[in-house]
């Protein structure tokens, strides 16, 4: 998959059960953002940035994967915060 950076939920399932909880952790880390939903997809959109996190979610709304598409405007500091948040919830980065 070449469209972006992927994160995959840990096995066993994480303590984080919703995209809202991930958004809340990102906000707590200093990244203002909001959620948009459409069917089995959800996106976290960051304030004042072009980049988004795109999630696939199951029927109950729990996130299964997250992708940050290539067309982004993030810098090293922003990227580090995103990686730290995902690391803190046990998700694995798939390069």
- pTM, whole model, 2 decimals? 0.81
pLDDT digits (tens, 9 = 90+) for 44-73: 999 988 888 999 988 888 888 888 876 667
CATH (residue range 4-88): 3.30.310
DSSP string, 10-61: -SSPPS--SHHHHHHHHHHTT--EEEEEETTEEEEEETT-S-EEEEEE-TT-
Q: Between 39 and 19, where is the model more confident?
A: 19
Residue-level pLDDT at 51? 84
Q: Which range (4-13, 15-24, 38-47, 52-61) has the least confidence? A: 4-13
Compute the average pLDDT of residues 11-20.
71
């Amino acid at each position: 998959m070449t469209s972006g950076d992927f994160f995959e939920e840990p096995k066993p399932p994480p303590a984080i059960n919703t995209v809202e909880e991930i958004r809340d952790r990102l906000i707590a880390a200093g990244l203002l953002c909001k959620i948009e939903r459409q069917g089995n997809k959800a996106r976290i959109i960051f304030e004042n940035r072009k980049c988004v996190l795109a999630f696939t979610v199951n029927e109950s709304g729990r996130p299964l994967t997250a992708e940050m598409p290539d067309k982004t405007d993030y810098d090293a500091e922003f990227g580090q915060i995103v990686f730290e948040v995902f690391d803190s919830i046990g998700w694995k980065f798939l390069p």
